[in-house]
C-alpha cells in the first residue's frame, strides 16, 4: 500500500455480536447481497490489507494508522481481539500451517542490536519492521528488520521463506520462517508493489512501480533473475497469481488497467479496464473469480475459468474507499472493510448471488 500520513486513533469494540446492516444499501448491481456491516469502532482514515485463515475462521485486518492488528471471527461475524503496539501496519499474511501471522510495520523499530547487525551486513534498516505473531496465543514472538516501508508479504512453502516488499526501499526482504530471522535483502531495481510466490514456476514476482515492470526473483538464491516490461501499464502495484496456472494479474493504478501475464515467458496476454485506482486483488477458486478492489470503492469482477483469458463481468460499487478485499473459500463471502460508514468503521460482508 502506498504510504499515507498519520491516521486517527481507532478503538475496537470487542465481543460485538453479528450485526445487522447499518442502513439499507442497493443490491450491488444484482451481483451480491449484503450479509452484514459489522461495526469495528469509530470512523478511521484508512484500513489496509486483509489475510484469511479458513481453518480457524479468522480474518486478520491491518488497522493501518492505528497501529493495531484486528482478529475478526468470520464464523460469528464479530471482532475477536485487537493486537496493539505496531505503530503502523500495512501488509498482513497469515500462514496457517506455521501457526504464524506476519505484519508489515513501517516505522516499527527493531532495536539497536538488530540495527547494528544490519549495518555490519551493509544493509539499510530504515526503521521498518516485520512483526511475527503466534496465531494460537496471539502473542508477538519476534520483530525483524523490514527496510524503509515494508508492505506486501508472500510465503514460499517449499523453502519455508517469507518475502516482504520494501516499497520505498526498492528491495525484497527475505525471512527464514523456521528460524524467524532475516536472511537477505534483494535489490528490486525500483519501488516495489505487492509480492507473490508461484509454486508452479517456483519463482517470486513483484511489480516495480517506478519502472512499469514485473520483476522475477529466485527465492533460493535470493536474486532478481529477470524482468518483464508491462506495456500499457502505469504504476503497477497489486498482484495476484492464478492458483492452477502460471498466470499473473497485475493492477496498474495510474491508468486503471489489469494486465494478464504469462509468468513463464513474460508475454502479456490481455489488458482489461478496472475501477478507478485499483489496489488489492483476491482470487476465489470455486466459481473461478478474480476480484479487484479500488480506492474509488468499485469492485471489478472477472471470470477466470480460463486463467490466461479473464473475462470482465463488470464493476460494482461496494462502498466508499473499499480498496481491500478478502474471500472465504468455503462460503465465497467477500470481506471489504470501510474506514468510514455512518460515523463508524465497519466490515462489509457480501454474499454472491447464486
Q: What is the CATH number of the domain that holds 158?
A: 2.130.10.10
Q: How far is CA 101 from CA 48, 71, 131, 162, in A?
A: 15, 11, 8, 11
Query: What is the pLDDT, as a whole number, of residue 66?
Result: 82
Checking phi first, is residue 178 left (phi over 0); if not, alpha (psi -120 to 50) or beta?
alpha
Going by pLDDT thresholds of 50, 70 and 90, the confidence category of residue 1 is low
Decide if 300 is inside a domain: no
Decide if 295 is inside a domain: no
Model pLDDT for residues 290-329, shown as the tens digit of each residue:
999 999 999 999 999 999 999 999 999 999 999 999 999 9
Cell of 160: 519455508
Going by pLDDT thresholds of 50, 70 and 90, the confidence category of residue 217 is very high
Query: What is the pLDDT, as a whole number, of residue 4?
Result: 43
Question: Sign (positive/negative) of CA torsion 303, 304, 309, 310?
Answer: positive
Please check whether residue 67 is in contact with residue 93, taking contact to mean a CB–CB distance below 8 angstroms: no
Decide if 331 is inside a domain: no
Please check whether residue 188 is in contact with residue 171, taking contact to mean a CB–CB distance below 8 angstroms: yes
- Secondary element (H or E) of residue 268: strand 268-273
Decide if 338 is inside a domain: no
Decide if 192 is inside a domain: yes
Which residue segment(s) compose the domain that 243 sits in? 46-277
Query: What is the pLDDT, as a whole number, of residue 127?
Result: 83
Decide if 26 is inside a domain: no
Q: What is the CA radius of gyration of the chain?
A: 19
- pLDDT greater than 50 at residue 187: yes
Query: What is the pLDDT, as a whole number, of residue 301?
Result: 98
Going by pLDDT thresholds of 50, 70 and 90, the confidence category of residue 194 is very high
- pLDDT greater than 60 at residue 117: no
Average pLDDT of the residues in 144-170:
97
95 backbone dihedrals φ, ψ, rounded to 5°: -120, 95
Provide the b/e sequence for 301-327 (b: ≥16 CB within 10 Å): bbebeebeebeeeebbbbbebbbbbbb
Going by pLDDT thresholds of 50, 70 and 90, the confidence category of residue 109 is low
Cell of 305: 475459468
Domain count, the chain: 1
- pLDDT greater than 50 at residue 188: yes
Decide if 12 is inside a domain: no
Compute the distance between CA of residue 30 and CA of residue 170 in angstroms, rounded to an integer: 42
Average pLDDT of the residues in 223-230:
98
Amino acid at each position: 500500500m502506498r504510504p499515507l500520513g498519520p491516521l486517527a486513533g481507532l478503538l475496537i469494540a470487542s465481543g460485538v455480536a453479528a450485526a445487522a446492516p447499518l442502513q439499507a444499501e442497493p443490491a450491488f448491481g444484482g451481483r451480491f447481497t449484503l450479509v452484514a456491516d459489522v461495526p469495528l469502532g469509530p470512523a478511521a482514515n484508512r484500513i489496509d490489507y486483509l489475510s484469511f485463515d479458513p481453518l480457524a475462521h479468522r480474518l486478520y485486518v491491518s488497522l493501518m494508522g492505528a497501529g493495531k492488528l484486528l482478529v475478526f471471527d468470520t464464523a460469528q461475524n464479530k471482532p475477536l481481539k485487537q493486537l496493539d503496539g505496531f505503530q503502523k501496519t500495512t501488509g498482513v499474511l497469515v500462514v496457517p500451517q506455521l501457526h504464524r501471522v506476519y505484519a508489515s510495520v513501517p516505522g516499527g523499530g527493531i532495536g539497536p542490536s538488530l540495527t547494528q547487525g544490519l549495518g555490519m551486513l551493509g544493509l539499510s534498516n530504515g526503521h521498518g519492521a516485520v512483526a511475527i505473531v503466534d496465531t494460537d496465543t496471539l502473542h508477538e514472538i519476534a520483530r525483524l528488520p523490514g527496510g524503509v516501508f515494508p508492505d506486501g508479504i508472500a510465503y514460499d512453502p517449499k523453502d519455508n521463506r517469507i518475502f516482504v516488499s520494501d516499497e520505498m526501499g526498492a528491495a525484497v526482504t527475505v525471512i527464514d520462517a523456521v528460524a524467524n530471522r532475516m536472511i537477505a535483502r534483494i535489490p528490486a531495481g525500483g519501488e516495489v508493489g505487492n509480492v507473490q510466490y508461484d509454486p508452479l514456476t517456483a519463482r517470486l514476482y513483484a511489480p516495480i512501480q517506478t519502472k512499469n515492470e514485473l520483476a522475477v526473483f529466485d527465492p533460493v538464491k535470493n536474486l532478481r533473475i529477470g524482468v518483464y516490461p508491462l506495456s500499457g501499464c502505469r504504476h503497477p502495484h497489486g498482484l495476484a497469481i492464478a492458483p492452477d496456472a502460471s498466470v499473473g494479474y497485475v493492477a496498474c493504478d495510474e491508468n486503471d488497467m489489469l494486465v494478464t501475464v504469462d509468468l513463464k515467458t513474460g508475454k502479456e496476454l490481455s489488458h482489461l479496464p478496472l475501477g478507478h485506482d485499483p489496489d488489492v486483488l483476491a482470487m476465489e477458486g470455486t466459481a473461478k473469480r478474480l476480484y479487484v478492489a479500488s480506492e474509488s470503492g468499485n469492485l471489478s469482477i472477472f471470470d477466470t475459468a480460463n486463467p490466461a483469458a479473464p473475462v470482465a463481468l463488470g464493476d460494482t460499487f461496494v462502498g466508499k474507499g473499499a480498496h481491500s478485499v478478502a474471500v472465504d473459500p468455503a462460503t465465497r463471502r467477500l470481506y471489504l472493510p470501510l474506514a468510514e460508514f455512518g460515523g463508524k468503521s465497519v466490515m462489509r460482508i457480501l454474499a454472491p448471488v447464486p
